[in-house]
């Protein structure tokens, strides 16, 4: 293609509301625009997306997971209803299919995305587990081929079995928080990451309980100031309301409650616990809010974080307005219905596998894999007849792969201060041929000749034939990030061009034949 004809509008700078490096680079490089609260991928960016799609489709097809098209939004229900129409015998299983969707996946995600939505169907759990592993391999292969460094993060629920996993690319600007142990490689989303409790042994014995007058001191911060003791010595009580119960959760004063882990631990559906209203707190504790504590609390499910169990002579709410209690000790003074790990993990916590240092890293979410088992097939009646003539619900897996996130992940991982450096496989073009001065006939002739030769060799080439300043053209070439650059300039009459790879500093002055040969050799 010719730069003079395509939609090419690079920008020197972007508006200050654009914060992410990858977005800045994609916008400056004329690949993307932000419009109407969402994104538009311009023709150059679209070429990259098409390449990522092509790589992904090929890997899925090879694995026997086929593309199909459905006009309604892809939901688990619709997939199940679709399969129900044809599924009769175990002999039809296993199979899987995918579709590429553009737009908003759900109401919360108004920004929209281009994503692969994949579903697999198996006759039993063993088959589903195999598909789950296969999808892991498929995703890894796709990311590798796109030149994107990624890791898989398993979402660990309380159950022994891993039910879901995410793929992320580490990035300082990522939204997802991942707890990572560099010693053993343990990785989990911060939402579900666990740690082991390893508090230093305290030799002091247990002191007698002591009531302290703490007028109007309601929060941990206020208590911390009022009593001048470290937050680690305070015990925090959070009262929550469930569908048919109240839950009192106890964590150390410096900790944050992890609602997901609490719900997982109590085997509750996600988002079923909410913070109790003031009137409920007052009824349960017999005190105004801010003075809830473990001693004498009634008619609630008491969940104690495993760290609290090891606290000695802690300070907790007194269940009496304006009072706290000193020297509270687990077991002697109160007992739990459940001892669970319900704290949000933080930097420096101990790895559950090896006791190593946990660090919290930021990452971008690229895709997820999830076992649905027979949740939907039982509900919707997607069944088959097994080898023994018995009707069985089909085992399902549901997976997503976000191509737009893959695109920004690549830009994030491959760039310098001048622009993106696309890996060859996903680059919008393989080679850019720049005619330095479009008014010089010998430069135009040689540029055209190289362009045609490369096109004939099936190389995707962009000819910069625009009547622009040389400096502007070079800047654009860097912003576009095309891996190979051939510059036709002053020595065109001698047949000499400049050859350069985008990811290297070195420039070579060589004959145009050698330059063409170098490009062809790359494939
Ligand atoms: Zn570890």
Q: Is the per-residue pLDDT at 87 higher than 90? A: yes
Kindly give, in sequence order, each residue whose CB lies less than 8 Å from that of residue 101, ignoring residues fewer than 6 positions away: 73, 74, 114, 115, 116, 117
- CATH 3.40.50.800 domain extents, the chain: 429-521
Q: Is the per-residue pLDDT at 213 higher than 70? A: yes
Distance 467 CA to ligand 1 centre (A): 59
Distance 137 CA to ligand 1 centre (A): 23
Distance 187 CA to ligand 1 centre (A): 9
User: To 5 degrees, how large is the angle CA 456–CA 460–CA 462?
Assistant: 105
Query: Quick check: helix, strand or coil at residue 17?
Result: coil
Question: What's the pLDDT at 201?
Answer: 72
Lowest mean pLDDT among 161-165, 301-305, 317-321, 443-447: 161-165
Distance 345 CA to ligand 1 centre (A): 14
How does pLDDT run across 394-445, given as a tens digit for each residue? 999 999 999 999 999 999 999 999 999 999 999 999 999 999 999 999 999 9
Distance 197 CA to ligand 1 centre (A): 14
Q: Is the per-residue pLDDT at 470 higher than 70? A: yes
- Residues 184 and 182: their CA atoms lie apart, in Å, by 6
- Residues 305 and 494: their CA atoms lie apart, in Å, by 78
- Residues 179 and 162: their CA atoms lie apart, in Å, by 17
- Residues 434 and 446: their CA atoms lie apart, in Å, by 11
- As a whole number, mean pLDDT of residues 366-384 equals 93
CA atoms within 13 A on the CB side of 172: 3
- Cα 503 to the center of its chain, rounded Å: 27
Q: Is the per-residue pLDDT at 105 higher than 60? A: no
- Residues 423 and 411: their CA atoms lie apart, in Å, by 10
Question: What's the pLDDT at 175?
Answer: 87
How does pLDDT run across 157-203, given as a tens digit for each residue? 655 667 788 888 888 888 889 999 999 988 888 988 889 887 777 76
Distance 5 CA to ligand 1 centre (A): 55
How does pLDDT run across 219-256, given as a tens digit for each residue? 888 888 888 888 999 999 999 999 999 999 999 999 99
Distance 357 CA to ligand 1 centre (A): 7
Q: Does domain 21-194+359-409 have CATH number 1.10.3720.10?
A: no
How does pLDDT run across 110-130, given as a tens digit for each residue? 678 899 999 999 999 999 999
Question: What's the pLDDT at 364?
Answer: 87
Average pLDDT, the chain: 92
Q: Is 88 exposed, middle or buried (0-12, 13-18, 19+ CB in 10 A)?
A: exposed
Distance 213 CA to ligand 1 centre (A): 43
- CATH 3.30.930.10 domain extents, the chain: 21-194+359-409
Tokens linked to 206: 């247990």
Question: What's the pLDDT at 160?
Answer: 60
| Strands (DSSP E) found in 309-427 | 314-317, 323-328, 338-340, 358-373, 383-385, 391-393, 395-402, 415-416, 419-420
Query: In percent, how much of the chain has pLDDT > 90?
Result: 77
Distance 168 CA to ligand 1 centre (A): 19
Kindly give, in sequence order, each residue whose CB lies less than 8 Å from that of residue 35, ignoring residues fewer than 6 positions away: none
- Residues 43 and 6: their CA atoms lie apart, in Å, by 8
Residue whose token pair is 């559950």: 352
Query: Which of the listed CATH numbers 3.40.50.800, 1.20.210.10, 3.40.50.2300, 3.90.1310.10 matches domain 429-521?
Result: 3.40.50.800
Of 301, 297, 309, 308, give the one whose Cα is nearest residue 268.
301
Strands 338-340 and 431-435: unpaired
Distance 183 CA to ligand 1 centre (A): 5
Q: Is the per-residue pLDDT at 7 higher than 60? A: yes
Question: What's the pLDDT at 106?
Answer: 54
How does pLDDT run across 325-335, given as a tens digit for each residue? 999 999 999 99
Distance 260 CA to ligand 1 centre (A): 22
- Residues 48 and 40: their CA atoms lie apart, in Å, by 13
Global ipTM: 0.99
- Residues 127 and 142: their CA atoms lie apart, in Å, by 22
Lowest mean pLDDT among 62-66, 266-270, 405-409: 266-270
Distance 184 CA to ligand 1 centre (A): 4
How does pLDDT run across 146-160, given as a tens digit for each residue? 999 888 887 766 556
Q: Is the per-residue pLDDT at 66 higher than 80? A: yes
Q: How many CB atoms lie within 10 A of CB 11?
A: 13
Query: Which of the listed CATH numbers 3.90.79.10, 3.90.960.10, 3.40.50.300, 1.10.8.10 matches domain 210-340?
Result: 3.90.960.10
Question: What's the pLDDT at 258?
Answer: 95
Distance 409 CA to ligand 1 centre (A): 26
- CATH 3.90.960.10 domain extents, the chain: 210-340
For the ranges 10-19, 188-197, 223-232, 467-476, the one whose mean pLDDT is highest: 467-476
Distance 154 CA to ligand 1 centre (A): 14
Lowest mean pLDDT among 196-205, 252-261, 496-505: 196-205
Backbone angles phi, psi at 31, to 5 degrees: -105, -25
């Amino acid at each position: 293609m010719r730069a003079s004809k395509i939609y090419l509008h690079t920008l020197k700078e972007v508006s200050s509301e654009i914060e992410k490096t990858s977005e800045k680079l994609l916008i400056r490089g004329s690949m993307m625009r932000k419009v109407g609260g969402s994104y538009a991928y311009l023709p150059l960016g679209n070429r990259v997306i098409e390449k990522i799609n092509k790589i992904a489709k090929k890997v899925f097809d090879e694995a026997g997971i086929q593309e199909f098209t459905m006009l309604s939004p892809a939901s688990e229900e619709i997939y199940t209803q679709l399969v129900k129409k044809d599924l009769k015998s175990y002999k039809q299983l296993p199979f899987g299919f995918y579709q590429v969707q553009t737009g908003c996946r759900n109401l919360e995600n108004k920004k929209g995305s281009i994503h692969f939505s994949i579903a697999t169907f198996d006759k039993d759990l063993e088959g589903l587990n195999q598909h789950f592993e296969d999808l892991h391999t498929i995703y890894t292969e796709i990311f590798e081929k796109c030149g994107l460094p990624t890791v898989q993060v398993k979402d660990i629920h309380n159950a022994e079995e891993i039910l879901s996993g995410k793929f992320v690319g580490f990035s300082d600007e990522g939204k997802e928080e991942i707890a990572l142990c560099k010693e053993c490689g343990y990785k989990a989303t911060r939402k579900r990451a666990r740690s082991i409790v390893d508090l230093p042994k305290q030799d002091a014995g247990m002191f007698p309980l002591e009531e302290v007058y703490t007028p109007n001191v309601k929060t941990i911060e206020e208590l911390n100031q009022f009593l001048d003791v470290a937050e680690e010595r305070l015990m925090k009580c959070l009262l929550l309301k469930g569908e048919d119960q109240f839950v009192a959760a106890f964590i150390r004063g410096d900790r944050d409650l992890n609602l997901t882990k609490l719900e997982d631990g109590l085997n509750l559906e996600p988002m079923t616990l909410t913070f109790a209203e003031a009137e409920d707190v007052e009824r349960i504790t017999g005190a105004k809010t801010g003075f809830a504590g473990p001693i004498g609390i009634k008619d609630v499910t008491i969940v104690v974080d495993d760290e609290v169990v090891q606290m000695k002579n802690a300070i907790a709410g007194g269940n009496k307005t304006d009072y706290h209690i000193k020297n509270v000790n687990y077991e002697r003074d109160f007992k739990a219905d459940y001892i669970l790990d319900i704290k949000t993990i933080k930097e420096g916590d101990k790895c559950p596998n090896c006791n190593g240092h946990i660090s919290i890293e930021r990452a971008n979410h690229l895709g997820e894999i999830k076992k649905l088992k027979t949740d939907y097939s039982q509900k919707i009646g997607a069944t088959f007849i097994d080898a023994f003539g018995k009707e069985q619900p089909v085992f399902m897996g549901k997976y997503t792969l976000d191509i737009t996130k893959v695109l920004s992940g690549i830009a994030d991982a491959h760039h310098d201060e001048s622009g993106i450096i696309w890996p060859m496989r996903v680059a919008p073009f393989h080679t850019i041929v720049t005619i330095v001065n479009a008014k010089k006939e010998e430069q135009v002739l040689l540029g055209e000749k190289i362009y045609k030769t490369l096109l004939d060799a099936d190389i995707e080439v962009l000819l910069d034939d625009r009547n622009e300043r040389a400096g502007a053209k070079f800047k654009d070439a860097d912003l576009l990030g095309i891996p190979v650059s051939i510059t036709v300039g002053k020595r065109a009459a001698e047949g000499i061009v400049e050859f350069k790879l985008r990811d290297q500093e070195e420039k070579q002055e060589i004959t145009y034949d050698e330059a063409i040969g170098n490009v062809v050799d790359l494939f």
